[in-house]
Chains A and B, each alone.
Chain A
Amino acid sequence: MTTYIIRRILQAVVVLIIVTLMVFFVIRLLPGDPLIIYVAQTAQLQAMPPEMIEELRIQYGLDKPIMVQYVNWIANMFRGDFGESVYYHEDVSALMIERFPVTLHIGGLSLIIGAVFGILVGIITAVRRGKWPDKILTPLTYVGITIPVFFLGILMIYVFGVKFGWLPISGYTSPFENFGLSTRQLIMPVICMSFFSIAANARQMRSSMLEVISQDYVRTAWSKGLTERSVILKHAMKNSLIPVITLVGVGVGILFGGSVLVETIFAIPGVGRLLVSSIFGQDYVVVQAITLVIAVAILVVNLLVDISYGWLDPRIRYG
């Protein structure tokens, strides 16, 4: 097991190096001169002389060869210095400290809800196959995996925010500041973000449950006269969870992707929206830092998922 873990970690380190190379070079291919954009955004009504642009170029280290810039970038990050945003005039690390907690709050809740409700709906629809809970929930899972997230968001806003007035329409409040408001504001974005995961997990859970239920040892458990609950929980569910764990692992990636859309709709100052505005504003220092942090997060989650597989299923260690 230890060799397996060490091998996995070594692989992850190699992947990490490739990730940094990709983040740095792909983003540096962004068209346009970042300094011209800076000038256009901040001093639109004014003429800025070329000498000043050159000065800024030196200030941001953009005059050096690209490999030197890459090495500097890596070296700086080890010191916790992610560079300074050209647009915000703020340390990127400070921006990320502001934004990541928001996205992790919403994303984390969505991940948990996606897993819990996904599994629950999967079990219910499998156990009550063909009965009314199945007939209602299964079509809903079809909606979940097919509806474009941003449209779902707009519809929810109009139905629950405007028409019924049950929920605040948009915004984000820290739970430490006002827990009630924070929770009420979170309901729609979290539903919006986890709807897909709930549906995908439920579909997965349903089909693996159906398979397990029909297997011999579960039938044996039934025949032993165990109650339904204990059969489902103890036997069937445990064995159908493994594929769902995979999905939850993958879910981290989906949530970071979804945060881009959900944060834009619900006016949430998270990292997804910051990323989008930085991409379109070509503030690539920010884009690099955020994509890197997200990629590393996903890398770590995948590493953990892999290791837990190795632990669950010894065959994998030798795979």
Chain B
Amino acid sequence: MAETQLTEAGYLEKTPRVSEWRRFRRVFFSRGVVVFGLVVLVLVLFTAIFAEWLAPYDPYKTGVAKSLAQPSSEHWLGADTLGRDTLSRLIYGSRTALQVGFVSVLISGVIGIPLGMIAGYSGTIVNNLIMRTMDAMMCFPMLLFALVLAAVLGSGIWNVIIALSVATIPGYARVTHGLALSIKENDYILAQKSLGSDNIRTIFRHILPNAFPPLIVLMTMQLGNLILAEAGLSFLGIGIEPPGAAWGAMVNSGYQYLKISPWLSFAPCLAIMLVVFAFNMVGDGLRDALDPKLRGLL
């Protein structure tokens, strides 16, 4: 799902809190694909962290002798036109992929969640101002929004991250807003209020824990979409600057060599697919394990 829209209706009922770790584990690990996704993610994370040690070569080192080298025992996935080892670039690319994914999710979450929370918890004017702005942002398809923003900001991985983050803010704001609204009406918070508990404390003590399951699921699934979006932007010429390695950019510069060196584009493409798949599966698993009610909404 590229963009997940949540109607406020989904949260009219109080979402049950999941606290039983055992139930979570049982449900989460019951599906093979989910476990597979988790294993993939752990491996990719490991690869990204230890890229320096895992990569057989310097991913930026060019060399005419290795230009478009075919796969061999030295270069398992051959080398690109500048003689750079594909496997090493693939390994370093995992870093870019996770960076784009995690940092974007972090930024958009950090901005979007409080916005939704504030909107849900404040008066009509502020609420409307924030939520209508979010609605307006959601009227722009993510890729177009990111494309225009990236054109404004210029190329480079950080600008792509900023563009993707801004484009995904409204998703988080909407989910949190819906939750805040529904939870606000719940008896126990009303009770808290009457007891004189202040707003901020209510938000942290009661709303955030309730908001956690849907948000974590949304974030996980969003990670996959962000990586796909980065690939799309690369194809259009907006992305990481040389000599950096990013999977989307590798597919894009590699597909010219489809006939003589298909691995140059297939390898990074498979990497993208695998990671996006893994994020989706883990997202599914988290959803089922944390709160099956979210099915159909996330």
Contact = CB atoms under 8 A, between A and B. Distances in A.
Direct contact of A and B (CB under 8 A): yes
A27 B148 contact: yes
Interface in B124-145: 128, 132-133, 135-144
Contacts of B3: 250, 253-254
B232 A22 contact: no
A268 interface: no
A148 B141 contact: no
B12 A319 contact: yes
A190 interface: no
Contacts of B228: 146, 148
Contacts of A143: 273
A22 B136 contact: yes
B296 A242 contact: yes
B144 A29 contact: no
A253 B276 CA distance: 20
B22 to A, nearest CB: 23
Interface in B1-34: 1-5, 7-9, 12
A294 B235 contact: no
Interface stretch (A75-83, A84-92, A227-235, A257-265): A257-265
B7 A204 contact: no
Interface in A272-313: 275-276, 279-280, 282, 287, 291, 294-296, 298-299, 302, 306, 309, 313
A11 B128 CA distance: 9
Contacts, number: 167
Given A18-B133, A30-B152, A294-B140, A148 B235 contact: yes
Contacts of B12: 315, 319
A58 interface: no
Nearest to B248: A148
Contacts of B219: none
B43 interface: no
A207 B298 CA distance: 11
A196 B2 contact: yes
Contacts of B232: 148-150, 260-261
Contacts of B274: 146
Contact of A275 (B136, B144, B269): B144
B69 interface: no
A19 interface: yes
A291 B140 contact: yes
B295 A207 contact: yes
Contact of B265 (A15, A30, A151, A243): A151
B231 interface: yes
B156 interface: no
Nearest to A244: B296
Given A151-B251, A207-B296, A250-B5, A29 B139 contact: no
Interface in A45-98: none
Contacts of B251: 148, 150-151
Interface string B218-249: 00000010001001100111000000000010
Given A30-B152, A150-B252, A319-B9, 18 more contacts: A18-B132, A26-B152, A143-B273, A145-B224, A145-B277, A148-B251, A148-B272, A151-B231, A151-B251, A151-B265, A250-B2, A253-B142, A291-B148, A295-B136, A295-B140, A298-B138, A299-B139, A315-B12
10 contacts: A27-B148, A147-B269, A150-B252, A154-B255, A260-B143, A260-B236, A276-B147, A280-B237, A291-B140, A294-B144
Interface of A: 11, 14-16, 18-19, 22, 26-27, 29-31, 142-143, 145-151, 154, 158, 196, 200, 204, 207-208, 211, 242-243, 246-247, 249-250, 253-254, 256-258, 260-261, 264, 275-276, 279-280, 282, 287, 291, 294-296, 298-299, 302, 306, 309, 313, 315-316, 319
Closest 6 CB pairs between A and B? A257-B141, A257-B143, A243-B296, A18-B136, A295-B139, A146-B273
